[in-house]
Chains A and B, each alone.
Chain A
Amino acid sequence: MNEWNGKILADEINTHIPNSVVSSDKDSVNVEKEKIYEVLKFLKDTSGFSFDLLSSVTAVDYIDHFEVVYHLKSLITLSKATIKTKLGFGREDQPEIDSVYSLWKGADFQEREIFDLMGIYFTNHPNLKRILLWDGFPGHPLRKDFVTNSQSIIPSEDLS
């Protein structure tokens, strides 16, 4: 399976959807948050890319912003690509992004998991509610500012 070079993929995306790419490197393409649905729809439906399998969706908390990461695979062209998007700058309370449920049903549980553990709201998701934790659980545990009451098993001076 071939991995798409991020820079080549970014050029392809930018020619079809202007002003959608923020930056790109060898492994991934960073896309404008507002254009994410459009870009992924383009990558799914255009022959030559045909990313028909949404391998994984996940999110990372980088303290000053969040990043949602999409790993796409194509069973037709036997290739894979990574698309990222940054959102929620300045720790806004309810960072929002378009759901890709209508493109891939496989996003259903994965987006619910991100919502549950990371607190990112997916607009147009048909059933956005907590999946692993219960309703009323305070906060979103995978955020870096979530306070755990466990003791770290690594002495804190070793962590840096």
Chain B
Amino acid sequence: MSIKSEPITINLGPQHPSTHGVFRMRVTFDGETIIDVEPIFGYLHRGSEKLAEERTYTQVVTLTDRMDYVSSMLNNQGYILAVEKLTNIQPEPRGVWLRMIASELQRIASHLVAIGFLIQDLGAWGTPLTYSMREREKILQMFEMLCGARITNSYMRPGGVFMDAPQQFWDSLSSFIDEFPAAVDELERLLTSNEIIFSRTKGVAILTPEQAINASITGPILRSTGVPWDLRKNDPYDYYEKVDFDIPVHDAGDNYSRYLLRVQEMRESLKIVKQCVDFIEPGPVRPHHDQVPFLIRPPKGDCYVAIEGSKGELGFYLVSDGSISPYRWHVRSSSLINLTLLREMLVGTLFGDLFVTFGGIDINMGEVDR
């Protein structure tokens, strides 16, 4: 005899500790199985794209910090590259190396947040999250030495960065480079072969490469389906051509491979930071005011620049009408677009898998809603 069940629709969020911000879902269950999901956005919409139309090109840097607030440096880098391309500014080499060091450290910090909270979503209270936050804290302290801010950095300027790194920063960086591999090992010992993580994440929410590409999904999620697609390699910007690193790829396409891929990417990012430290030479960190004035007036035109953010392709589309503020500024936000297949990934899984999958996608509401 089969038991007759009736679908029930419940509302999750926007105020919910597991939604990584203010994300709302309307989920329909049949028993414990999910049969429909409707994501609802907009609770953190601040109209950044409209605000940019009333600010100068340099002031817009502060708006990019507040998009994805766990990877501000990467947002800065993408936006600055777009401005440089539009205005045809030649950046100073030392500025570019500092930019790359800052972005790769930020990528590590962002992945640490992703891993820490993924495990938190699994129900592992405290320990792994504290471990990853401890490492992230070291990076935030280094950012404070670089630019005086921990989260909203606004560190980069057209042509480089706004000031040189103090000696204190280099000392902290070298001890971080020495200590971080051991910290990742410690985290991996705790998690990678953990029985609970195996059973909760392996084979859950599987994506195929065709599905992912068709839905414009990029970043670690695309690479976890077996596609070696990384804009640092495929469409190099800054000096990524000069450094040597690998793109980790997994082909299972499930939550576990997303976790594992992020761990490996942190090691690769550290490799890049190490090489940048070797390559960097003394010199100015940005062009003199004669070459790049404070109020930039790019020629009429438009440009689209995409970088490999911590969550996927982070694109900036800028249109200039020749004045000192952008005529139109559009952000191709990887967090929003990576959610396209949320429904397909969740339907058929159990209630307990919902937040694990959501944590595995790793979104940031500041970037989803902008």
Measured CB to CB, the residues of A under 8 A from B are 1, 52-56, 58, 60-61, 69, 71, 75, 78, 80, 82, 104-110, 113, 117, 130-134, 141-142, 146, 148, 150, 152-154, 158-160
Contacts and interface: CB of A to CB of B under 8 A. Distances in A.
Nearest to A152: B54
B41 A55 contact: no
Given A52-B214, A71-B304, A150-B54, A109 B234 contact: no
B216 A106 contact: yes
Given A131-B41, A132-B42, A153-B55, A106 B217 contact: yes
22 contacts: A56-B304, A56-B317, A56-B330, A60-B319, A60-B327, A61-B328, A69-B302, A82-B304, A105-B214, A105-B340, A105-B341, A106-B215, A106-B217, A131-B41, A131-B42, A132-B369, A152-B54, A153-B55, A153-B59, A154-B324, A158-B324, A159-B325
Tell me the interface secondary structure of chain B in the complex. Answer: loop
B56 A154 contact: yes
Contacts of B332: 55-56, 58, 71
A55 B59 contact: no
B89 interface: no
A153 to B, nearest CB: 6
Contacts of B216: 53-55, 104-107, 110
A107 B215 CA distance: 7
Interface stretch (B15-23, B44-52, B247-255, B351-359): B44-52
Interface residues of B, number: 42
Nearest to A44: B214
Contacts of B215: 104-106, 108
Interface string B199-226: 0000000000000011111100000000
